[in-house]
Amino acid sequence: MTGLSTLLIFVGLFLLGGVFSLRKQGLPTGVIVLVGVGAALALTAGILRLEVWQ
């Protein structure tokens, strides 16, 4: 596991937690979707950068 993949997974999980927090606060759906897409992209990039796939 490289440092970049660890960082991307951490950022993705952080943003995923933000999605739940923003939804609980009642923010607009567009903001929640945007943060959710960012979380999904960061998690996907981090998982794909793991060295187990090579």
Q: What is the mean pLDDT of each run of 10 residues along the chain (54 residues)?
A: 89 96 94 96 93 71
The predicted pLDDT at position 44 comes to 94
The predicted pLDDT at position 46 comes to 94
The predicted pLDDT at position 54 comes to 65
From the list 21, 23, 17, 24, the residue with the least C-alpha distance to 42 is 17
The predicted pLDDT at position 53 comes to 65
The predicted pLDDT at position 2 comes to 80
Q: Where are the alpha helices (DSSP H) in 1-54?
A: 3-25, 29-48
Report d(CA 3, CA 27) in Å as an integer: 33
